[in-house]
Amino acid sequence: MIGNLSGRVAIVFGAGSGTDGMSNGQAATMTYARAGARVVAVDLSQDAVRRTVESVAEEGGDALAVTADATDSRSVAAAVQAALSSYGRIDVLHNNVGVTTLGGPVDLDYEDWKRAFAINVDTVFLTAKHVLPTMLEQRRGAIVNVSSVAALRDVGYPYPAYMASKAAVNQVTVSLALTHAADGIRANAVAPGFMDTPLVRRQLAGQAESIDELLATRHRASPTGRMGTCWDVANAALFLASDEATYVNGVCLPVDGGLAMRCG
């Protein structure tokens, strides 16, 4: 079975689900659980993470809901300890926490610039900081960070803070991969392109006159003629977390229908 995670424990930061559709974090949590993993679902919102865990339980999976702020070191440490107390190990670390921050240098407040880096980059550092000791002791582990194709090329939106912070995620991933390759730990990233998710609809709604126009524009921008879904991202993450990717390390894998390869 490709992507078999039986006997493994995955911790997903940013696992919560809204009430307006399937999120990337919920899809990742469910995908890991379907592959046989016990999953620790972590989110800032207690209600959001509860919904995700309920969706796993409905399919017969095993998931634990934990509420934590991934930008706070003590909160992350407590979430990791909750995972270890419940399951005794952590084999997969999945970082899905992120925010799209719109605006160029003239328009964007400096506090919003710093907030983008705190949410998109600091969370990757803090989760790795607190999970790596367990993985080092185990002599195995897989880290999957959610980046963006915007870290690789311009995609038409005015968001240098998002582009720069996601590019930083890529390089943190490379550093983790090379630093710990000999320790049995791999680190890779997925870079979603134009995706159709509730978060995208909320955060980019102001970039078009209507949601229908926004979605139509994004569908047309994809080389495939359609946006991807949260399941496309989750399935790519599952591959990177699995033993089938045992020799894949330090990669930023675009999940974008070919968008990153398009010129202009």
Residues with a catalytic annotation lie at 162
Joined together, the tokens standing for residue 161 give: 């803070």
Which residues partner with 13 through β-bridges? 42, 95
Distance, CA of 63 to CA of 142 (rounded, Å): 19
Cβ contact 108:58 at 8 Å: no
Cβ contact 11:94 at 8 Å: yes
Closest among 229, 91, 81, 99 to 159, alpha carbons compared: 99
Is the four-CA dihedral 72, 73, 74, 77 of positive or negative sign? positive
- Fill in the DSSP letter of residue 146: E
Distance, CA of 40 to CA of 23 (rounded, Å): 16
Closest among 94, 77, 175 to 133, alpha carbons compared: 77
With vertex at residue 101, the alpha carbon angle to CA 99 and CA 105, rounded to the nearest 5 degrees, is 150
